[in-house]
Amino acid sequence: MEENWNNIYSSTNLVEAEILKHVLLENNIDVVDINRQDSSYLMFGTIDLYIKNNNQKKALQLIEKHQNERNN
């Protein structure tokens, strides 16, 4: 991964990671996902979302908003 990309989110839940990826993309934030889950045992490993450094504040706000809406 290039230097100007940071891990913004990690999860073992593939569906949640995909939803957050689409939330970020819909808000014009470039995002790359790396699935580090074991292909045989999905309980091992994470799905990591990476964004460029200059979008970190906005991305964190969107993730927090999404998680708050999901919990209500």
The answer to whether residue 34 scores a pLDDT higher than 80 is yes
In angstroms, the CA 27 to CA 57 distance is: 13
Range with the lowest mean pLDDT among 19-23, 35-39, 46-50, 51-55? 35-39
In angstroms, the Cα distances linking 21 to 1, 5, 40, 41 are 17, 15, 24, 23
> What average pLDDT does the chain have?
90
Query: Looking at per-residue confidence, does 41 or 55 come out higher?
Result: 55
Locate 69 and state its tokens: 């809406």
- Dig out the tokens for 54 from the structure: 């200059």
* pTM as predicted: 0.85
What domains can be seen in the chain, in order of their start residue?
5-71 (3.30.70.1530)
**C-beta of residue 60 within 8 angstroms of C-beta of residue 66:** no
What's the sign of the alpha-carbon dihedral 63, 23, 25, 19? positive
